[in-house]
Chain A
Amino acid sequence: MTLDFGILLQDENLPLLLQGLWVTIRMTFLALILSCFIGLVIGLGSMSKYKWISSLCATYLAWFRGTPLLVQLMLLYYGLAISLNIDLTASLAGVLGLGMYSGAYVSEIVRGAIQSIDRGQMEAGRSLGLSHWQTMFKVILPQAIRRMLPPLANEFIALTKNSSLLSVITVAELMRAANTIVADNYKYFEIYLTIAVFYFVVNYGISVLIRLLERKLNVEGVRS
């Protein structure tokens, strides 16, 4: 067997892959923001003293964690368009799908980190006359965010990898770019190995960034 990486330089293959990579990064980044937002809302909501809010959040978690991302993407993109005439663009469906799916996992990270903060912190804030939410945002969350970072790194890496599923709903991201090229020249090994390296580099970047962030936050306030 011979491997021919020269194939990358033919037929505009490399620019095509880099374009796909850019789409992957963009989609992942947007989905990541959405996922953090949903995660925070659902995570805080799941601890609400109002039963209807916490049940709603529990249902969200159960659904989006309990069904395959691929199925959710199909429902969002093809299902909504064909049955309900809600025609989302592939990119929008992709970001929404990834973000909502990942948001379920992030909500559990948020909840776990908040609950790991000593109860005395909330009591101290409340005894100083701060409201529940003032204490949450000024006292509890700044401490909880530090504890969220390591599991968030895992989740964001998973999110990047899961973005390859967007190829199925026609988003021209890295995986789809590879599929297109391979359909043409059958250079499976070369092309898929190349995108594997691309994914790896992105994910390695995420893990380094989060490690840096962890270190920065730890210097500011000495660990508890």
Chain B
Amino acid sequence: MIEITNLDKYYGSHHVLKDINLTIGQGEVVVIIGPSGSGKSTLLRCMNYLEPIQSGQISIENQPIGMIEQNGKHKEMPENQLNKMREKVGMVFQNFNLFPHLSVRENITLSPLTLGKMNKKTANETASTLLAKVGLSDRADAYPDQLSGGQKQRVAIARALAMKPHVMLFDEPTSALDPELIGEVLDAMKELAREGMTMVVVTHEMGFAKDMADRVVVMDQGQIIEVDKPDVIFQNPSQERTKTFLHKVLTHT
């Protein structure tokens, strides 16, 4: 589904992602954890090429995204090709990034309508179905500023799903939420996972990782230091750094 090979990324001279190799299977839920600054969000953002990479390759369903080989040269793909690839990848952001000038329904239908994927009727029906799914049927005509954080994030999930993505990326989807609102967003994500959606989730919610992840990826200082099933990571990690990190997070929650 997603294949990342020998990925390197720099911010100037700062080497933020070091030789990342990771394969994510169809229907898999992969949770990326690690201390702040370890590069986990950056890695996630590389998967739909919101972050350019300097070397290596990322492919989704066996098609490269972002960088392509052409005449033996490594170069950025044309924009229309990149947009096509991005349609397959839904993304949910920490700060929701809903469009404040559009109603909830318009947030969801903007992209399918603009890209001619659906007519107005189908798009509105899709929006209603998706809103029902995230439990917000009654808020279709509200504007983002009239919603709570948890509601915003659920709309953001519905918006991403409207493009019928093959994989969903979640970039710390609950980090900007008040504690009592986290549950409703996690529930929506769990439902999605149960339906078999391929998901890559960067999060600090260790409970979600334990319950829902097929595999947990532990990152530190721009590297993947460990990948394993959640029970192994949480009970018997092989890396000292994983232990230290988990000890810090788990003793405070």
Task: Please indicate the chain A residues that have their CB under 8 angstroms from the CB of B95 in the complex.
Answer: 118, 120
CA distance A129 to B89 in the complex (A): 9
Whether A143 lies near B83 (C-beta < 8 A) is no
Contact indicator B86/A127 (Cβ below 8 Å): yes
Contact with B along A62-78 (1 / 0, CB 8 A): 00000000000000000
Partner of A127, one of B48, B110, B143, B144: B48
A130-B97 contact given A221-B102, A221-B143, A222-B143, CB 8 Å threshold: no
Most buried by B among A128, A134, A142: A128
Q: Give every chain B residue within 8 A of A120 (Cβ-Cβ).
A: 93, 95, 97
Q: How many A-B residue pairs have CB under 8 A?
A: 75
Contact of B97 among A124, A134, A138, A142 (CB under 8 A): A124
Contacts of A30 in B (CB 8 A): none
Asked if B163 and A129 make an inter-chain contact with CB atoms under 8 angstroms apart, the answer reads: yes
How many of chain A's residues have a CB under 8 angstroms from any CB in B? 24
Contacts of B87 in A (CB 8 A): 128-129
For A223, the chain B residues whose CB sits under 8 A away are 100, 145
The answer to whether A131 and B79 have CB atoms under 8 Å apart is: yes
B84 close to A (CB within 8 Å): yes
Judge if B208 is at the interface, Cβ distance under 8 Å: no
> Which chain B residue lies CB-closest to A124?
B97
**A165 at interface by CB-CB < 8 Å:** no
Number of interface residues of B (CB under 8 A): 30
Q: Given A124-B93, A134-B114, do A129 and B100 touch, yes or no (CB 8 Å)?
A: no
Cβ–Cβ < 8 Å partners of B160 in chain A:
127-128
B102 contact set on A, CB distance < 8 A: 221
| Residues of B with C-beta under 8 A to A124 | 91, 93, 97-99
**Distance to closest chain A CB from B201 (angstroms):** 15
With A118-B97, A220-B101, A224-B100 already in contact, the answer to whether A127 and B145 are too (CB < 8 A) is no
Question: Which A residues are in CB contact (< 8 Å) with B110?
Answer: 128, 130, 138-139
Shortest Cβ distance from residue A26 to the other chain B in the assembled complex, whole angstroms: 33
Q: Does B55 contact A (CB under 8 A)?
A: no
The reply to whether B146 and A128 contact each other, CB–CB distance below 8 Å, is no
- Say yes or no for A121: interface residue by CB 8 A criterion: yes
- Residue-wise, chain B 67-91 has the 8 Å CB interface mask toward A (1 for contact) of 0000000000001100110110111
User: Which chain A residue shows the least CB distance to B90?
Assistant: A127
> B158 to chain A: closest CB distance in Å?
12
Q: Does B111 contact A (CB under 8 A)?
A: yes
Report yes or no: A130 in contact with B101, Cβ–Cβ below 8 A: no
Would you list which residues of chain A between 112 and 140 have a CB under 8 Å from chain B? 118, 120-121, 123-132, 134, 138-139
CB of B79 to closest CB in A, whole Å:
6
- Asked if B50 is at the interface of the complex by the 8 Å CB criterion, the answer is yes
B159 close to A128 (CB less than 8 A): yes
- Contact residues of B with A, CB < 8 Å? 48, 50, 79-80, 83-84, 86-87, 89-91, 93, 95, 97-102, 110-111, 114-115, 143-146, 159-160, 163
29 interchain pairs, CB-CB under 8 A: A121-B99, A124-B91, A124-B93, A124-B97, A124-B99, A125-B111, A126-B83, A126-B86, A127-B86, A127-B89, A128-B87, A128-B159, A128-B160, A129-B86, A129-B111, A130-B110, A130-B111, A131-B80, A134-B114, A134-B115, A138-B110, A138-B114, A143-B100, A221-B100, A221-B143, A222-B143, A222-B146, A224-B101, A224-B145
